[in-house]
Every structure is written in C-alpha cells, then in structure tokens.
Amino acid sequence: MWAMSKARLVIMAVVVEGRTHADAAAAYGVSRSWVTRLVARWRIEGDAAFEPRSRRPRTSPSRTPDASVELILGLRRQLTAAGLDAGPDTIGWHLSEHHGIDVSTSTIRRYLVAAGLVTPEPRKRPKSSHVRFAADLPNEMWQADMCWWSLADGAHCEVLSIIDDCSRYGLSVSAHRSVGTPAVIEAFNKTAAHNGYPASVLTDNAMYFTTRFAGGKGGANAFETLLGDLNIVHKHSRPGHPQTCGKVCECEDCAGAVSVRSGSGKGLTMVSCVRFVGWVRCRASTRAGRTDLT
C-alpha cells in the first residue's frame, strides 16, 4: 500500500504541481531515475502505473521444467494408488533412479502442496517438538521388534525384524508361529554372521528380549546373556513409549499399510509373508546410499 501511495504522490507532484523530477525525488526520498521511469509509465498506462509491478524475473534458468513437474505429480498419484510410500524422498529416488532427474525433496514437496496433493494437518505436533536420534554409523545400533500377521489359512504368525538404525536397512526378516528367545537369538546370530556384530541393540520390553520387568525371577534371559558376553549394549524403550523404537515400527506400519491399500498382503503363506514384508522393509535411506527393494 505504501509503495502504491508513494507512486501516486510522486506522479502528482510532477504532473499536477509541475515539480522537476529531481525535486520530487529529493522530496520523497527516491532516485531521480525511478521518478523518470514512473512518470513515463504513467503517460503510457494511466492509473495502472500506481499498482506495484511483479518482481518476477523474465527468465528463470534454474526453474524445474514443466515435464519434470508433471512427472512428480504422476509419480505421486501412481505410488499412492499402488499403496506405496509416496513422500518426497521416495519420489526423488524414482526420479533419480528411473528417469535420471535430480530434484530436491523441498522442491518436490512444494509442487505437491501447490497441486493440492498434500492434505494439511494443522493440528499435527510440530516437528520442532520431537527429539530425534539416529546412529551416525552402520552397526552402531540395531533395532529389533515383532509384529503379527494373518495368513491365508486364517492362522496368525509373528514376524521378527532387525534393522540398522543408521540406514534403516532391513537386516533380517523372519516369520515364526510364535517368537521366543531362541528365535531372537537365531535371527541375531545369522544377521551378525552376515553383517558383523553391532555396538548396541535397541528393543522394547517383550519377555523374549528382556526379563527386566519379570519381578527379578530367573535373572537375565539367554538373549540378554548373549549380548552381555559379547559386550554389546542392550538399550530398552520406556514402557508405554513405543516412539523410541519408531524406526522399526515405522517399517511395520508401512508393510501393513501396503497390505491394506493394495491388497498385496492378502492370502499369504508363511514363506510369502516373509518375502512380502522383506520387500517392504528392505528400503534403504538416501543417507546410506543403498538401493530400494534389494
């Protein structure tokens, strides 16, 4: 509003009052060249000269091509329809790996919001309030957890997963009728034989992981004893606070969401259950530089 009012005053001072461009420029604290351009524009455009003009550049060499924008929006719709993760990171990976186009996640997010493909959630807890942690190196910390799965015959199985906290890479996915401490030890040893031992392990407080809430009866279980013998630090989440193990839980939620939205998780046998969950989980982060669906 001030820019428009000043323009009107300057033009009136020159045209109505008959003041020189230099006098008007000194009186209103602007340059003489700006006064000259403003008056010339007013003589051509009339009152439209009072309106502030767009400062958008005539050319923008770094602007994302329209074809790339359409590809971003198309990937968003395609991945969403397939029940897969369709966030900016995933779209960026597909652009880079399959189309040879490098677009930043912030740019992808901006075009998704502009196209109305992102549902605003104003009541969501701000990210600044979250305390995020992540291991700096591979094998610095593993996370382990179990989730339930329904099979084609109506029975239920339990899927045990181990991921690397740094890369979020699914190191081990195994299906069991019932997960117990022996199954945890077997999966841990097989994973360590292939990837080396971690410096620490983060789990929840299930009895097959720890007996610290068992009332002091029986002492440590075999898994805790194994970690102690290997000098591996065993970390635990706080009861009622599953966010601590959020990375491995996020993988489980992703697998469940794909199953529900795409129907690809229906009618699984014990073997195909492991393959399906492994397919969903073994997704490396861009920070680790590993590829999807390995």
Task: Compute the average pLDDT of residues 176-194.
Answer: 91
Specify if 125 maps to a domain: no
Does 17 share its domain with 104?
no
pLDDT of 171 reads 86
Per-residue pLDDT tens for 82-133?
A: 888 898 999 999 999 999 999 999 999 999 999 999 877 766 666 666 666 7
> pTM of the prediction?
0.49
As a whole number, the mean pLDDT across the chain is: 78
Specify if 126 maps to a domain: no
Per-residue pLDDT tens for 214-232?
A: 766 678 899 999 999 999 9
CATH code of the domain containing 237: 3.30.420.10
Specify if 134 maps to a domain: no
What is the domain count for the chain? 3
Domain that holds residue 155: 142-281
Per-residue pLDDT tens for 233-247?
A: 999 887 766 666 666
User: Of 25, 50, 75, which one is at a domain's C-terminal end?
Assistant: 50
pLDDT of 271 reads 53
Does 153 share its domain with 261?
yes
Per-residue pLDDT tens for 24-48?
A: 888 888 899 989 988 888 888 887 7
How is residue 215 written in tokens? Answer: 């009332």
Kindly tell me the sign of the dihedral angle through the C-alpha atoms of 254, 259, 265, 267. positive
Does 103 share its domain with 174?
no
